[in-house]
Amino acid sequence: MINTCSFCDPETIAKQEIVVSGSVRVLYPRKPIISANVMIMPVRCVEHIQDLSDDEIKDMFSIVKKLFLSFKDIYGITGYNFFANDGRVAGQHVPHMHFHFYGRSEDEAVDPFDVLGDKDRYQNRPRMPEDEYRKNIDQIKNSLLSQ
């Protein structure tokens, strides 16, 4: 069987991967809602949270702690949203279980949930310029690797 998961596609991994830590991968979205936005998923392609192993769950929460510290340093966040859309009815678009992580702060310019709640705004948001995109990936990666 050929895997058609876009998160497992070698081109996606080459362009979007920030880091692999244990059994999890952190990707930077092609069209991030805000700069402090990543997706955390198991390297192994599974569709639902209940399919995760205990080690994958442990590794995910470990990277969340590190992401908070990195994003606090890079973006000045003081909080975050960490959530999953599990199942098609819940809004899961890619059949590879993943969590969304949005770094939040008191003085944020954009509330990510305002964008998510506006279908037209969400679907028509622009791609980040490539140089800014690469800079964000490198900055997050270097911060995570220095911990």
Summarised one tens digit per residue, pLDDT across range 12-71 is 999 999 999 999 999 999 999 999 999 999 999 999 999 999 999 999 999 999 999 999
pLDDT at residue number 125: 92
pLDDT at residue number 89: 87
Using an 8 Å Cβ cutoff, are 21 and 43 in contact?
Answer: no
Task: Report yes or no on 102 lying in a domain.
Answer: yes
Task: Report yes or no on 86 lying in a domain.
Answer: yes
CATH number of the domain residue 91 falls in? 3.30.428.10
SS3 41: strand
* Count of C-beta atoms within a 10 Å radius of residue 106: 8
Structural domain count of the chain: 1
Q: State both tokens at 119.
A: 């279908």
Domain that holds residue 122: 10-145
Helix then strand count (H, E) for the chain reads 5, 5
Task: Report yes or no on 29 lying in a domain.
Answer: yes
